[in-house]
Chains A and B, each alone.
Chain A
């Protein structure tokens, strides 16, 4: 086994937390069960890793096997990467898409290799007809850097692909081309949507975040009456009960009853003229637009926005710039004067 491969496997296994070690190794399925039983999992991590690497050497692990382990680790730790979304489109009136996964994989790899000799491409099938692709980029003269790979997640016969953030922007056009051609599309465009949570991005672009529907079979009415807490002391009087109920109603109409998809920020780039009510201010009456960047950050941005009006921090209804985020599938905005 190559030294670089051994080092790569060692560093990958070292990243795995002890609680997940068994699960990930079993998912990898490279070291058989009986061999894993012989290893002492209670020893210190460094010595455990050494034992495992020795086992891999004895089984002659290749770069392909090591790359597969890396994919599995990333699948378990999706949130460590920031994911972008690409949208592809076809010409209208095209034939039915007969997507063949094997053809897609070979076509994708061929396109990359034709352009760049030094590249490692690995695939792993995932649930629901999705495929995880791992690409380690090299250059014309250098071997691929296995420690800075790019991941692509693609669901067959959909126009969307999710890619992990890539530091080397120069390879993005090649990647886009490979994706488009291999999946029988014509155009590809990067969406202004970015998040750590792959599931939330999927829910937003596949429009799966609102899955509550009214049927005759449901026993509880969907729109439950929003009561203010009736168990409170009778000596407490809600002074603005009507206003509170209005705010609740408007919030529910805008955000719905369903759990919001998880985003960490929304960024607004303003290039508009400054408008103010006061005349003769410093910023008023300037010909050039005011450039500023507004960023909202939160561990769960959409839930935070949903709670703004009920908490009394903002007026209801909220600005459509904030509420349109899941509908439009954007959390990067550029606002210019019309």
Chain B
């Protein structure tokens, strides 16, 4: 009951010595204000646990005023502090009263609540078991029904797969058609023809001609090189015999691709045999180069000039080999020259140079053995 133990209040008996916040003497209420209902004086009334205390200037000298926040919050009253002791004691009494009443309230409901909860748990458990059993039943029923329905579904799937497989097959066949050399695809305005060139089993470039099917058949656009005489061929055959037009174009393009392939291969794979750069033109129908029979040989080089006057062939129509060595008149070199000419006439370039390489090996072997 010692007010000194109260953390909110510091005991004091005079003005000005309280540690509380003190409202300075105001011109406000000069008389003891009327207490609002529910407020407390030193006697009676419950207090909220949170109290906001402030001191106030008082008419009553020697006493500090305190304001309390009521339970309903906001109402504050001023109580004379001179009856402080009584108030604090009262508070303590109220506190013990409350704790006692709480205990009374708790005990009986606890027991009833416990039993209530227990029954509730029991009920819920029963419900859960029931629902589980029902779920199991339903699942079993579904399985039974699907087992009956499965044969039908598998039949549908296999049909679909068969159709899909056939479609894939057809697409693959259409794609593979380009290996025949001449294939096409329908377009909105006509047909797009694809000419796939090849030489000696090597697949080379593809060229396209997009045809518009109208009364005068015409070419919409194409990827044929400008030095292939497409205008000539189309002027001759496009309107009258489209098959001939396509075959003729195929011939020209395949021959060009073959000649180009031979020239590229010579420059790339047999560069060791060439004594100088390979001269060529767009159509690859004139090749001029100097070559040696042995790459490291000390022999003089031969000069070759190959003309392909027939644009539909991959073998030259004219071959001129000259030998520039000092012993040009000797028969052995003349024989070699003639045999080379024959080789160039009859075999593609890479075969000619492969045979040179093989002859060179044979010579080496003979020297060794």
Contacts and interface: CB of A to CB of B under 8 A. Distances in A.
Do A and B bind? yes
B282 interface: yes
**A101, A129, A217: which has the most chain B beta carbons within 10 Å?**
A217
A264 to B, nearest CB: 24
B187 interface: yes
Interface string B170-196: 010011011000010101100010100
Contact of A215 (B192, B222, B281, B282): B192
Interface string A215-226: 111000001000
Contacts of B194: 213, 215
Contacts of A102: 279, 288
Given A98-B285, A129-B280, A216 B177 contact: yes
A215 B309 contact: no
Given A210-B221, A216-B171, A156 B282 contact: yes
B94 interface: no
A158 interface: yes
A215 B185 contact: yes
A128 B288 CA distance: 17
B208 interface: yes
B279 A207 contact: no
Interface in B185-230: 185, 187-188, 192, 194, 208, 210, 221-223, 225-227
Q: Is the interface of B mostly helix, strand, loop or mixed?
A: mixed
A213 B281 contact: no
A205 B225 CA distance: 11
A216 B185 contact: yes
A114 B349 CA distance: 40
A223 B288 CA distance: 46
Contacts of B222: 207
Interface in A204-243: 205-208, 210-211, 213-217, 223
Contact of A213 (B192, B279, B283): B192
B281 A216 contact: no
Contact of B282 (A100, A157, A207, A214): A157
B279 A214 contact: no
Interface string A1-24: 000000000000000000000000
B281 A100 contact: yes
A96, A160, A205, A208: which has the most chain B beta carbons within 10 Å?
A96
Contacts of B226: 155, 158, 160, 205-207
A296 interface: no
B185 A101 contact: no
A217 B282 contact: no
A30 interface: no
Contacts of A160: 226
A49 B178 CA distance: 57
B105 to A, nearest CB: 60
A98 B309 contact: yes
Nearest to B317: A96
Interface of B: 171, 174-175, 177-178, 183, 185, 187-188, 192, 194, 208, 210, 221-223, 225-227, 279-283, 285-286, 288, 307, 309-311
Ranked nearest first, the 4 interchain pairs of A and B with the lowest CB-CB distance are A213-B208, A157-B227, A216-B174, A99-B281
